[in-house]
Amino acid sequence: MPIDPTLCPAIFGVSGTSLTDRERVFFEKVKPFGFILFARNIADPDQVRALVDSLRPLAAVQPCPVLIDQEGGRVARLRPPHWPAYPRGAVFGKLFDVDPDNARRALYLNSRLIAADLHDLGINIDCLPVLDIPARGGHEVIGDRAYARSASTVAALGREACAGLIDGGVLPVIKHIPGHGRASADTHIELPVVATKAATLRRTDFAPFKALRDAPFAMTAHVIYADLDPHYPATTSRAVIDRIIRKTIGFDGVLMSDDLNMQALSGTLAERAFASQQAGCDLALHCNGDYDDMVAVAGGLERASPATLRRLKRAMGFLAPPRPFDRDAGVRERDALLARAET
């Protein structure tokens, strides 16, 4: 898995449906780890393939990592009429309550179907599954994106989501580590503080992440856990990343920040990027495609550490060609299984 050790340890968005000359020159210079696509980058399948093709030679890792948030429900960058709508996560948790085996199978098939859509476009990393456990009083930014309120159910379904993506030639990103479900605010807008004691968090919120600690990638939560670090959110907290994510949870995959442009974080973008890296994030995620913002993020980052390069190489090593799959049969079987949740 070729990786340029001089890479910029960042994932960047782009501004539109095709690369600008300025973006191309910038990416050639900084050599980012990879890229992430949003609705503004998507018109139709041929356009997306052309955009992905133009990004490939600009990444410091080959095959070029191209990410997207394609969860299903309200978080889906690929939408009808060109792509099918997918169920929200809570649908699978509802089926799990009455038929765990069929819920696992339905979610595996759903993830295989998502992976088929992405692989066809050249997208090879999906920011899925959501392993957060929604709590009473938690903000609806997670809500029905989560599978269930039970840690064991979330872990079981999250495992199937990962397996379906990997079998379809797409890598999963578990999120939002170490758990976003208790956050009482939307981190796009403000910084939430979770006051729950660490012992409770270990039994509940952290448990699904520990169960899936072998995942290749994870995304942080911009959330303060007051009993762990009363001053800094997980993304910029050395204490949370070292003691909780790396040791208690045992995750040794690639840790990426959530979007640095979210208002839960403070300081300039260069300061946010530097703080996340110094705290222990392997990659800085910047999503809005603003050129000046990207320059600032790149300027705040140091060269990737040997540990980060090791994790990147191992994570990308999970990528393999899709296993044989009958898409039409998969749709029929998934839909039949999900129908049982409605009866």
| Residues classed as catalytic | 188, 258
Q: Where are the beta strands (DSSP E) in the chain?
A: 8-12, 32-37, 66-68, 70-72, 75-76, 125-126, 171-177, 193-194, 217-220, 224-225, 254-259, 283-286
Q: How many CB atoms lie within 10 A of CB 75?
A: 16
> Among 64, 20, 76, 18, which Cα is nearest to 43's?
18
Q: How far is CA 214 from CA 158, 163, 253, 314, 323, in A?
A: 12, 12, 7, 11, 21
Q: How many residues does the chain have?
A: 343
d(CA 74, CA 86): 9
Which of left, alpha, beta for 289 (phi over 0: left; psi -120 to 50: alpha)? left
Give the largest Cα separation in the chain, rounded: 56
Angle of helix 269-279 relative to helix 291-300, nearest 10 degrees, comes to 40
Residue 217 in contact with residue 125, Cβ under 8 Å? yes
